[in-house]
Amino acid sequence: MVTTRTPLIAGNWKMNLDHLQAIAFVQKLAWSLKDAKHDFSSVEAVVFPPATDLRSVQTLLDADKLELGLGAQDLSSHDSGAYTGEISGAFLRALDVQYVLVGHSERRTLHSEGDDVVASKVAAAHRHGLVPMICVGETAADLEEHGPSAVPVAQLRASLAEVPADAEIVVAYEPVWAIGSGQAATPEQAQQVCAALRQALVEIAGPERAATTRVLYGGSVKSSNIASFLREPDVDGALVGGASLDVAEFTSIVRFRSHVGV
Ligand code: 13P
């Protein structure tokens, strides 16, 4: 792994844990990481709770000076106004949210968010000082029809249409067929696509930006396979769903360096 990119382990809770459960969970997670003597400067850990939990988690992180990052699962492409049910990036920023997921496959498929919506949400995140974690990934049918990298690379290019080339982003490669299926990509598959995404970043934003941008893998990541992904040169971390809801499991994933042979 290239040492200039601090590995990032992100926990996407999806629609799980209300704000009271979130407080208990984050307290336990902070203790667990401290107990395990985790060195926070060597691996960045970020949780992405539901929107209704953000204020509670922010207050807790702030009061106890916990070294966990905070991310949101979605934002509006608009800044304010008559958009019932939407959440502005400005509001997230006011809660000290640092990251926001954009383009997750569940938003793309269940909420019909196409490349144009994703691009405008990436632009909104950038406008409000949030780092968009741009999720890209192919379905099993895409993989069969177009091969491994074409769809994720096209999604990444489209997502960056409305931001300057030097905008800070994180990219998360999540093959749709690997999400929640228990069937993760192989480390070689993840490396191949993450390398293609980085090459696209070289072309879009230049070699320097590409060399410092974190590209994560997501899809059935757990403590038993995390180390094999992080051994790959272009995989800089993981976006974790189900396994991020278990304190011991998530702690073990964050502490992937303590696993044998990394
Ligand atoms: P799982 O880790 O449960 O496969 O979910 C991955 C995901 O969608 C994270 O955003």
Output the tens digit of pLDDT for each of the chain's 262 residues.
Answer: 444 799 999 999 999 999 999 999 999 999 999 888 888 789 999 999 999 999 999 999 999 888 899 999 999 999 999 999 999 999 999 999 999 999 999 999 999 999 999 999 999 999 999 999 999 999 999 999 999 999 999 999 999 999 999 999 999 999 999 999 999 999 999 999 999 999 999 999 999 999 999 999 999 999 999 999 999 999 999 999 999 999 999 999 999 988 865 5
Tokens standing for 173? 């490669």
Total domain count, the chain: 1
Amino acid in the structure at residue 123: A
Nearest CA to ligand 1 atom 7: 241
- Stated pTM of the model: 0.96
Task: Show the domain range for 39.
Answer: 8-260
Report how far apart, in Å, the C-alpha atoms of 37 and of each of 3, 33, 250, 253 are.
Answer: 21, 6, 14, 14
- CATH number where 63 lies: 3.20.20.70
Report how far apart, in Å, the C-alpha atoms of 137 and of each of 15, 62, 219 are.
Answer: 21, 34, 10
Tokens standing for 67? 């070294």
- Say which of 38, 44, 104, 249 is annotated catalytic: 104
Residue with tokens 């106004």: 81
Asked whether residue 222 is assigned to any structural domain, the reply reads yes
Asked whether residue 187 is assigned to any structural domain, the reply reads yes
Report how far apart, in Å, the C-alpha atoms of 138 and of each of 9, 161, 244 are.
Answer: 21, 20, 22
Q: Is the CB of 226 under 6 A from ligand 1?
A: no
Q: Is the CB of 132 under 6 A from ligand 1?
A: no
Q: What count of residues does the chain have?
A: 262
Asked whether residue 2 is assigned to any structural domain, the reply reads no
Instruction: Please say if 174 is a catalytic residue.
Output: yes
Q: Is the CB of 239 under 6 A from ligand 1?
A: yes
Q: Is the CB of 185 under 6 A from ligand 1?
A: no
Q: In testing the pocket of ligand 1, which one of 139, 170, 173, 240 has its CB within 8 Å of the most ligand atoms?
A: 240
Asked whether residue 56 is assigned to any structural domain, the reply reads yes
Asked whether residue 30 is assigned to any structural domain, the reply reads yes
Asked whether residue 3 is assigned to any structural domain, the reply reads no
The kind and range of the H/E element at 93 are helix 89-94
Q: Is the CB of 89 under 6 A from ligand 1?
A: no
